[in-house]
Chain A
Amino acid sequence: EAGVAQSPRYKIIEKRQSVAFWCNPISGHATLYWYQQILGQGPKLLIQFQNNGVVDDSQLPKDRFSAERLKGVDSTLKIQPAKLEDSAVYLCASSRRVDSRTDTQYFGPGTRLTVL
């Protein structure tokens, strides 16, 4: 089966600009995650969707970040406006079942964002 797809792979923008990332999870996977991974740190969950509903967005900076998962399939993550501290790799993952604690998460290759 095809893996989790993400685009773009790399993005360089200036602070205060906007940027959007796209994720296509594995077909049939109910749960989709967006993580932010700053260099030298572990991933931090930004938002978790089950089908097209939000399960957890407690760590999403909602004043500048937004995410949607239309029709319970693809998802986009947007940053507007970007700050220097948003420079990171943005990882998308999906898992088959609704109870994500018992299920393997499959990760995409990530989008490396550099904010100048």
Chain B
Amino acid sequence: KQEVTQIPAALSVPEGENLVLNCSFTDSAIYNLQWFRQDPGKGLTSLLLIQSSQREQTSGRLNASLDKSSGRSTLYIAASQPGDSATYLCAVSGDSNYQLIWGAGTKLIIKP
């Protein structure tokens, strides 16, 4: 059974710092991995999707990497801003199961 873990559960950093969020999964037979952002009172927004054959994806100040063999993904945020404050969740879909399996998220606070 696939399990997704995100550590730490919460992170607070000063504005301007580069930071890394971590996601690990127990079954390497994944189809893809996605990173989402969740703002309070709002739904989730998809940030990046990495296919299992890819090593990384970039969008603006965000870069997500995937190491399928070790069951890990990282989300790198460059030059953090207060507007980046949110909860970041990763989710994986399996080769044989379409269902997304989600981590509990990392709550990120960027201090001005």
Q: Which residues of A contact B (CB under 8 A)?
A: 4, 40-45, 48, 55-56, 91, 93, 99-102, 104-110
Q: For the complex, give the distance between the alpha carbons of A104 and B43 in Å.
A: 14
Instruction: Point out the residue from A40, A104, A108 that lies within 8 Å of B104, measured CB to CB.
Output: A40
Give the total of B residues in contact with A, Cβ under 8 Å.
20
10 examples of A-B residue contacts, CB within 8 angstroms:
A4-B43, A41-B104, A42-B89, A42-B91, A42-B102, A43-B44, A48-B98, A101-B31, A107-B44, A108-B43
| Interface residues of B, dominant DSSP | strand
Nearest-CB residue, chain A, relative to B31: A101
Q: For the complex, give the distance between the alpha carbons of A38 and B49 in Å.
A: 24
Nearest-CB residue, chain B, relative to A112: B41
Residues of chain A contacted by B91 (CB below 8 angstroms): 42
